[in-house]
Amino acid sequence: MSPTLPVVVIGAGPVGLAAAAELVRRDQDVLVLEAGPTPADAVQRWGHVRLFSPWEQLVSPAAAALLAPTGWQQPPSGTYPTGAQWAHDYLAPLAAVLGRRVRTGHRVVGVARQDRDLLVDSGRPDQPFAVHVEGPRGLERILARAVVDASGTLDRPNPLGSEGYPVPGERELAEHIRYAMPDRGTDRARYAGRATAVVGSGASALTALLALTREPVHTGTSRVVWVLRRPGVAKALGGGAADELAARGALGQHVRAAVDAGLVEVVTGFRTAAVEQQPDGLRLVATDGRTVEGIDEVVATTGFRPDLSFLSEVRLDLDERLQSPRGLAGSIDPNLHSCGSVAPHGHDVLEMPEGGLYLAGLKSYGRAPTFLAQTGYEQVRSIAAALAGDLASAAAVELTLPDTGVCGGAGLFDDAGADAGGCCGGPTVPSSPVPVGILVP
């Protein structure tokens, strides 16, 4: 395999750009392929949301080093950007420094070994990767010595149904269902003074509830219904003051206050079986026959899943439940734990059996939630070191993440006792507001 071929990074999001910065720092040729029209397109789609990680946890060390000669100044520590600010103040300048190494409007539709499909063994390890791309000039094929898939999961939201498939009525009534968090500015006309059901129990659900219960979206005629599969809400509200990310803990505390104030109706143990159009609005129907009536709009915050379709001709080793690298699944599986503790991991865990193909960032977590940018930055540092031949540095992986404060007791996805208080106690309403946002970074 020619060492002059580039490393192809799929996705120009925070982790994809960090991977490019790490590779440039080690004098490795790299090409970043972004499906969207601009770098960090996925981040900009939720640009109205304030992150609950502070700036110092959102900047890759390699990226900061690459930006420093341009006069770029890292934003103040202890401040919390919105997605739009993250993109404008850090990711866009980083993409500009990387220059022609970043190609936008280039969607990867297939990855294979050159002249080999999935079945062929002969000579496979010696062949470069052939990355099939749809771009401005149509379909093209780019050869690469390695591929880092940091394409994320935002384009593959989970459906409303609890069995992983859309329920009857979900596709037909799609104009009333959104798989994104409301923007109190641009979405005001859609939600203000109307009845909205938020389906889900993660940080995105909490963020949506917070947006819908505040002015100008929330008016005297507004109705907000929180629909959860869990039998209770305590664990969904997070670890409160015990959370080492203060803004993440405050998010659940603010929603608890909204529930206590009567601004949010809570429906628990509800597994959606159908969405029906009725004269007075939509009706959600549960598998046990219960219904939620009179709904105008549905916000589905039911998580995401990875797009594996363009990896069908390469050899993968993924956990059968999470669709993450098998060696990583044990420490991120929400069926098994709820503390969010992730073991340090690097290139060896993230590399697929194909050799030279890595999953990184949100893509590496498969269907698991609670990914933090710091995790991705350390992942790609290790991968870049391995690709540069510095195996000692690649193996020296360090990762210390802030605890969620939700610990002990049943796992996040365990219905039995899932509403138990756990060892951290229940959340309380903070005395002063803290910036809040989504969990993704």
Q: What would the pLDDT profile of 24-40 be if each residue is shown by its tens digit?
A: 999 999 999 999 999 99
Least reliable range by pLDDT among 36-45, 225-234, 334-343, 384-393: 334-343
Least reliable range by pLDDT among 74-83, 137-146, 396-405: 396-405
Least reliable range by pLDDT among 20-34, 396-410, 425-439: 425-439
Record the tokens describing residue 438, joined without a space: 């989504």
Please give the pLDDT value at position 1. 60
Average pLDDT score, the chain? 88
Q: How far apart are CA 29 and CA 50, in angstroms?
A: 34
Residues 6+ apart with CB under 8 A from 96: none
CA-based nearest residue to 254, from 295, 209, 217, 221: 209
Q: How far apart are CA 21 and CA 18, in angstroms?
A: 5
Chain-centre distance for alpha carbon 36: 16
Give burial (CB, 10 Å; 0-12/13-18/19+) of 88: middle
| The listed CATH number (3.50.50.60, 3.40.50.720, 3.40.250.10, 3.90.230.10) that belongs to domain 174-300 | 3.50.50.60
**Boundaries of every domain in the chain:** 7-155+304-395, 174-300
Buried/exposed code over 379-394 (b: 16+ C-beta within 10 A; e: otherwise): bbbbbbbbbbeeeebb
Q: How far apart are CA 243 and CA 17, in angstroms?
A: 29
Residue carrying structure tokens 């710091």: 374
What class is the 7-155+304-395 domain? alpha beta
Residues 6+ apart with CB under 8 A from 416: 410
Q: How confident is the model at residue 323 (pLDDT cuts 50, 70, 90)?
A: very high
Q: How confident is the model at residue 239 (pLDDT cuts 50, 70, 90)?
A: low
Indicate if 174-300 has the same CATH topology as 7-155+304-395.
Answer: yes
Judge whether 18 and 97 are in contact, CB under 8 Å. no
Share of the chain above pLDDT 70, in %: 86
Judge whether 239 and 406 are in contact, CB under 8 Å. yes
Please give the pLDDT value at position 339. 47
Report helix angle 203-212 to 246-260, nearest 10. Answer: 50
Q: How far apart are CA 335 and CA 175, in angstroms?
A: 33
Record the tokens describing residue 406, joined without a space: 């939700």
Record the tokens describing residue 307, joined without a space: 């797009």
Give the three-class secondary structure for 78.
coil
